[in-house]
């Protein structure tokens, strides 16, 4: 938000106090190009254009889905032990083994200061090719937290521009609360 010539950052639903006296102030509100995901101990920025969905009905298996045109980000929190390889195998069973291959059983990514490891699979549904990167988020006790990126691939097997840009933005904004 800009009040006269002063820029003020305010989040949706937030109330702030402005110092000073204003007579006929000029106010301009411009939303940031991103939203902030702040749930279950992780925080990151994602594109404002993405849709947001949360399934919190089962307290033992919660998940959030952020969907763009080519990239979908999923975050799962489960009160059970599950490896990224087991999750990948569940996805392979769901899509059909004949439609999937494991790209990297030891996939790695650094988001913020956090190094994550996981499993990457490629899926082909009809003529649509996509990649699913499944990473484990550090957690305590018997809780499993998985961050999944599902990105469309082009005809040459490259990830989408939306996916590449979103991951770059997440690398700069990602944090894990301990």
Q: What is the pLDDT of residues 85-104, one digit of tens each?
A: 999 999 999 999 999 999 99
Out of 3.30.43.10, 3.30.1490.20, 3.40.1180.10, 3.40.1000.10, the CATH code matching 33-176 is 3.40.1000.10
| pLDDT higher than threshold 90 for residue 25 | no
pTM of the model: 0.87
Share of the chain above pLDDT 90, in %: 75
Is the model more confident about 157 or about 53?
53
Q: 16: buried, middle or exposed (CB in 10 Å: 19+, 13-18, 0-12)? A: exposed
Closest by Cα among 68, 32, 67, 60 to 173: 32
Q: Are 16 and 8 in contact (CB under 8 A)?
A: yes
SS3 171: helix
Share of the chain above pLDDT 70, in %: 99
Average pLDDT of the chain to the nearest whole number: 92
Residue 1 is predicted with a pLDDT of 78
Residue 178 is predicted with a pLDDT of 66
Q: Please tell me the distance from the alpha carbon of residue 56 to that of residue 95, in angstroms, as a whole number.
A: 24
Mean pLDDT of the 104-109 span:
97
Q: How far is CA 72 from CA 32, 63, 103, in A?
A: 20, 13, 18
| pLDDT higher than threshold 90 for residue 140 | no
Q: 173: buried, middle or exposed (CB in 10 Å: 19+, 13-18, 0-12)? A: middle
The tokens describing 135, both together, are: 């990473």
């Amino acid at each position: 938000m800009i009040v006269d010539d002063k820029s003020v950052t305010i989040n949706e639903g937030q109330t702030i106090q402005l110092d000073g006296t204003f007579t006929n102030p000029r106010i301009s509100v411009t939303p940031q190009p991103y939203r902030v995901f702040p749930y279950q101990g992780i925080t990151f920025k994602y594109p404002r254009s993405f849709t947001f969905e949360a399934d919190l009905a089962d307290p033992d298996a919660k998940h959030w889905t952020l969907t763009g045109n080519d990239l979908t980000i999923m975050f799962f929190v489960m009160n059970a032990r599950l490896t990224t390889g087991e999750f990948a195998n569940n996805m392979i069973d769901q899509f059909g083994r004949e439609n999937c291959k494991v790209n990297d059983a030891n996939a790695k990514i650094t988001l913020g200061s956090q190094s994550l490891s996981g499993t990457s699979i490629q899926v082909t549904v009809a003529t649509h090719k996509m990649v699913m990167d499944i990473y484990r988020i550090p957690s305590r006790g018997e809780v499993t937290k998985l961050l999944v990126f599902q990105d469309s691939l082009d005809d040459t097997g490259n990830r989408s521009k939306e996916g590449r840009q979103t991951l770059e933005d997440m690398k700069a904004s990602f944090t894990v609360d301990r």
